[in-house]
Amino acid sequence: MKIVVDAMGGDHAPGVVVDGAIAAVRDLGVEVLLTGPGEIVQRELAARGGEKLIEVRHASEIVGMDEPPAAAVRRKRDSSIRVGLDLVASGAADAFVSAGNTGAVMATATLVLKRTAGVERPGILTLFPTITGQPAILIDAGANVDCKAVHLAHFGVMGSVYAQAILGRESPSVGVLSNGEEEGKGNELTREADQLLRGTSLRYVGYVEGRDLFNGKVDVVVCDGFVGNVALKASEGVADAIRTLLERGFRANLRGKLAYLLSKPVLRDMKKAFDHHEYGGAPLLGVQGVCIIAHGSANAHAIRNAIRQAASQRREDVSIRIERALGEARILPELTKRPGADRVVFLKELAKKMRIPRRAPATPEGGPTARAAFVFPGQGCEFVGMGSELANRYPIVRDTLREASEAAGVDLATMAAQGPIERLRLAEHAQPAVVAVSVGVARLVQTELGVRPAIVLGHSVGEYAALVASGALGFSEAIRLVRERGRLMHEASPPGRGSMAAITGLSLAQVTKICHEAAQGAVLDVADEQGHEHFVVSGEARAVDRAVEAANGAGARRAVLLPVTGPFHSSLMAPASERFAPTLAAVAIREPEVTFVSSITGTRLASAEDIRAALEVQFSGPVRWFAAARHLAESAPELVVQAGPGSFLTGTLRRIEPRLRTFVVDDLDGVRQLREAAHRLLTPR
């Protein structure tokens, strides 16, 4: 996991930031990338012996702590904040940490990472110590001074998700901060928020008072950013005042000094509980990614803890959980019929608020309801249980797996559901099973959700599923072809002879040079170009092992073996390609009915002859996924649906083009998310 840290953020940057980053690398086992003026940051690292531990990404501009956020976002496009958040948005890093200008970090994160679907205003979450020993959550702590009731309701959902995912609270309680617990208390904002939260499935307890921040009565306290920031600063002031008064009393006389010695352990624990450095930073929730805003006065210990917090939030996929929870909560502002309002006008207002059209949108028969792209995964994404949840719920998926089993002459449905994984991973089983599940999902998406593809793309063997979806190839024929394809690949290179590895963080020239030097007379090829500094190499096992070792020595961010059973897309597969040609020639291939992009050529293929030629060289030719993905992105689809197991393809697509709206459909939750997204696209606003 790679955490990018703004080296120039905070009152004591860059020194304490570098110290904290080095401590995180050594203590937490994470990768850290620092952004800032390269020469300055490298000098700080060298002074601490950390130049080999941490990568630096140059950023020529720095945002001052008192600089207006809007001006910083608009004028400083190469700031250490912007460069760091761009790395997260592109997929080159997993999370961002900064102790810099809070407003600039929040504004830039909202601009670059984009808001989570369903969130109108991101919120800053902070932790308060309580007498129970377990912290309470306050949200919003200063991101939004002026809020609507729906924003507070969203904060309640986001805080509840965080409490579950990070604090381990099974059913966190949620309350609205007010000037009293009675229903008549509060102002118009809190009363409206109270009504909205009562309509959710959250464990909502009603109004809470300021003292409840510290007594552990409630897990999540919701308020607008103005009130939240005042509460936060007031509590910090009270803690400082108590500390000052105690110190003064302890120094007053001998009795005070003796009292201090006796109470020193208790006071130390108390100080630690109220020390914001222990919590690290405040997460900005409601953006599509992880962003931690540390205190401007953060020391090295606080930076280390902020990095730890960022890693935990990314590991638990908090932003994805928030999106799901908001979709389930379906928080809608309350509507009241105004005196004398016409009933039809009122119903139109209600429909607009709920984003429900007065009638279903008309679409051409058989045509797409939204401009969608379907992408299909290849071998390596298979796992025991893939497709089972959908097959149990939807007959169309179940029937597709049954049809595939009959065509393949082996019970693919049972193997996909029950394994064992050692048998499922064999190419002759994995390839038809992945294609079968993928086609079943694609059929489900089209028939149940009404989402049809305007463009299709498959990764390696996933091209066969893409061809089925495009109408260029029959399903049974595709299953028989990939079954034979897998069998021939297995015979060409039995398990153990060859392997594959993923290498990230090096250029194509560096990876090509590593392959040339590590081969030592054996076969070793660049098998897949997945994006900038993301490659896969394939060949004889010992040569691949040497390449992994060499890549790590050359400073690769990641170089690991892949869980596959053969050296696919290398010249070791050439004999299998020759034996497969007669089988492929006997199968009818038609011109695709929708745009088909080949991951082997990286271009659109429109004729049956071109498609057949690409499938013939697919065995030993490299995958040009980056070129194919760029071609897909240029078609500007409104939705990108990965039909089939895993989430590898959507991850690469977001890295290549962050603006794509990607959805993985391999379980019931994926179906629900896509249905809601398609509905939002088709609903007049």
Lowest mean pLDDT of 36-50, 296-310, 454-468, 490-504, name the range.
490-504
628: its two tokens = 């194919």
- pLDDT top residue among 246 and 279: 246
The model's confidence at residue 594, banded by pLDDT at 50, 70 and 90, is very high
Q: What residues form DSSP beta bridges with 294?
A: 281
Q: Is the pLDDT of residue 338 over 50?
A: no
Looking at per-residue pLDDT, the higher value among 267 and 515 belongs to: 515
DSSP string, 475-533: HHHHHHHHHHHHHHHHHHS-BTTEEEEEEESS-HHHHHHHHHHHHTTS-EEEEEEEETT
Question: What average pLDDT does this structure show over 520-526?
Answer: 93
Percent of the chain with pLDDT over 90: 41
pLDDT at 337: 38
Rounded-to-integer distance, Cα 260 and Cα 267, Å = 9
pLDDT band at 587 (very low <50, low <70, confident <90, very high): very high
What residue type is 675 in one-letter code? R
Whether pLDDT at 530 is above 90: no
pLDDT at 383: 86
Q: Residue 144: its pLDDT value, please?
A: 81
The pLDDT confidence band at residue 91, using thresholds 50, 70 and 90, is confident
Give the relative orientation of helices 608-617 and 462-470 as an angle to the nearest 10 degrees.
Answer: 170
Give residue 298's pLDDT.
86
63's CB contacts (< 8 A; 6+ apart) are 8, 9, 72, 76, 79, 80, 81, 100, 101, 104
pLDDT for the residue numbered 68: 84
| For helices 395-408 and 427-449, angle between their N-to-C axes, nearest 10 degrees | 150
- Amino acid identity, residue 280? G
- Can 516 be counted among the known catalytic residues? no
Report yes or no: 72 and 89 within 8 Å, Cβ to Cβ: no
Residue with structure tokens 């089925």? Answer: 468
SS3 241: helix
Report the Cα 74 to chain-centroid distance in Å: 26
CA angle, 504 then 507 then 511, to 5°: 75
> What local confidence, expressed as pLDDT, does residue 346 receive?
45
- Rounded to whole angstroms, the Cα distance separating 292 from 302 reads 11
487/676 Cα distance (integer angstroms)? 41
pLDDT band at 320 (very low <50, low <70, confident <90, very high): confident
State how far the Cα of 435 lies from the Cα of 416, in Å rounded to an integer: 11
* Region label for 145, one of left (φ > 0), alpha (ψ between -120 and 50) or beta (otherwise): alpha
pLDDT at 683: 61
Task: Spell out a b/e string for 438-473, using b for 16 or more CB atoms within 10 Å of the CB, else e.
Answer: bbbbbbbbbeebbbbbbbbbbbbbbbbbbbbbbebb
Greater confidence (368 vs 384) lies with 384
Q: For the chain, give the percent of residues with pLDDT over 70.
A: 90
pLDDT at 525: 93
How does pLDDT run across 457-505, given as a tens digit for each residue? 999 999 999 999 999 999 999 999 999 998 998 888 776 789 999 999 9
Cβ within 8 Å of residue 93, ≥6 positions away:
2, 3, 4, 33, 84, 87
pLDDT greater than 50 at residue 451: yes
Pseudo-torsion of CA 148, 152, 154, 155, nearest 10°? Answer: 140
Tens digit of each residue's pLDDT (9 = 90 or more) over 106-140: 889 988 888 887 788 899 998 888 888 788 889 88
Residues whose CB falls within 8 Å of the CB of residue 345, separated by 6 or more in sequence, listed in order: none
pLDDT at 203 over 50: yes
Sign of the Cα torsion 139, 142, 143, 146 reads: positive
Angle between helices 318-329 and 668-682 (to 10 degrees): 60
Confidence band, pLDDT 50/70/90 cuts, at residue 270: low
Calculate the average pLDDT of the chain. Answer: 85
Contact 201, 158 (CB under 8 A): no
Least confident of 191-205, 431-445, 539-553: 191-205
- Residue keyed to tokens 């860059």: 14
Q: Residue 567 to residues 91, 490, 564, 572: CA-CA distances in angstroms? A: 27, 10, 8, 7
Which token pair is 310?
């960022």
Compare 388 and 75 and report the one with higher pLDDT: 388
Q: Does 235 participate in catalysis according to the annotation?
A: no
Max mean pLDDT among 202-206, 442-446, 652-656 falls in 442-446
Is the pLDDT reported for residue 75 higher than 90?
A: no
Residues 6 or more apart in contact with residue 383 via CB below 8 angstroms: 421, 645, 646
- Secondary structure (3-state) at 661: coil
633: its two tokens: 């992105």
What DSSP element (H or E) covers 624? Answer: none
Per-residue pLDDT band at 266 (split at 50, 70, 90): low
Cα–Cα distance measured from residue 677 to residue 364, given in angstroms and rounded to the nearest whole number = 20
Distance of alpha carbon 673 from its chain centroid, rounded?
Answer: 15
Q: What is the mean pLDDT of residues 317-322?
A: 84
In this prediction, residue 315 carries a pLDDT of: 84
Catalytic residue among 235, 569, 598, 599: 569
pLDDT band at 609 (very low <50, low <70, confident <90, very high): very high
Q: In what order do the strands lie in the sheet with 498-504?
A: 524-531, 534-540, 498-504, 558-561
Q: Running DSSP on this structure, what letter comes out for residue 51?
A: T
Q: What is the pLDDT of residues 374-415, one digit of tens each?
A: 999 998 888 888 999 999 999 999 999 999 999 999 999 999
What are the E-state strand segments in 532-608? Answer: 534-540, 558-561, 595-597
pLDDT for 72 beyond 70: yes
Q: What is d(CA 618, CA 528) in angstroms, rounded to the nearest whole number?
A: 12
Q: In what order do the strands lie in the sheet with 372-376?
A: 595-597, 453-458, 372-376, 639-643, 662-665
Do residues 308 and 278 lie in contact, with contact meaning Cβ atoms separated by under 8 Å?
no
Domains of the chain: 1-118+286-331 (3.40.718.10), 120-276 (3.40.718.10), 376-493+568-630 (3.40.366.10), 496-564 (3.30.70.250)
Average pLDDT rounded to a whole number, residues 229-257: 76
- One of 80, 438, 460, 599 is an active-site residue; which one? 460
Both tokens of 96, joined, read 């961002």
The top-scoring range by mean pLDDT among 167-171, 229-233, 647-651 is 167-171
Confidence of residue 351 (pLDDT cuts 50, 70, 90): very low
pLDDT of residue 339: 39
Handedness of CA 60, 62, 68, 73 (dihedral sign): positive
Evaluate if residue 10 carries a pLDDT over 70: yes
pLDDT band at 272 (very low <50, low <70, confident <90, very high): low
Amino acid 237: pLDDT = 75
- pLDDT tens across 131-163, in order? 887 888 898 888 888 888 889 989 999 999 999
* Per-residue CA distances from 588 to 465, 475, 611, 612 (Å): 15, 12, 11, 10
8 Å CB contact between 3 and 94: yes
Residue 365: half-sphere exposure toward Cβ, Cα within 13 Å? 0
Q: pLDDT band at 642, cuts 50/70/90? A: very high
Phi, psi of 280 (to 5 degrees): 90, -70
The model carries a pTM of: 0.50
